Amino acid sequence: MWQNSLSLKVHLLASGTLKQVLWSSLTERCSQVLDPGPCRDYVVKWYYDATANSCAQFWFGGCLGNGNQFETEKSCKETCVKA
C-alpha cells in the first residue's frame, strides 16, 4: 500500500496519527521517574519533575537510566514543561 516509509509518514502526519504517536512518546518520557542508572560516571544531566512541572539537575551515572534525561535545561523545558 505504501511506496516507502516517507509516504507512510506523510499519510500519518496528514491524518494526525503521527502527531498523536509523537506526543504519546514525549509524554511517556516526561512521566518517567528520575533514574540516575547504576554506573558511577557522574555526568550532570537534567530531568523533568512532573510533580513540580519543572526541570532539575541530577548526576547521571553514565549507563542505563531511562528516557527522562536531557543534556540541557532548555531541552528539558521545551520537551516537558507545561505552560
Q: What is the pLDDT of residue 7?
A: 46
Q: How many domains does the chain have?
A: 1
- Longest CA–CA separation in the chain, Å: 49
Please say whether the dihedral angle defined by the alpha carbons of residues 74, 31, 13 and 15, taken in this order, is positive or negative: negative
Confidence of residue 83 (pLDDT cuts 50, 70, 90): confident
Q: Which residue has the cell 511517556?
A: 28
Q: Which residue has the higher pLDDT, 24 or 46?
A: 46
Q: Give the CATH number of the domain where residue 57 resides.
A: 4.10.410.10
Average pLDDT rounded to a whole number, residues 62-73: 97
Q: Which residue has the higher pLDDT, 27 or 70?
A: 70
User: How high is the mean pLDDT of the chain?
Assistant: 82
Average pLDDT rounded to a whole number, residues 57-65: 97
Beta-bridge partner residues of 70: 46
Domain, as residue range, for 28 = 5-80
Pairing mode, strands 54-60 and 43-49: antiparallel
Q: What is the pLDDT of residue 57?
A: 99
Query: What is the tens place of the pLDDT at every residue in 14-44?
Result: 655 444 444 445 679 999 999 999 999 999 9
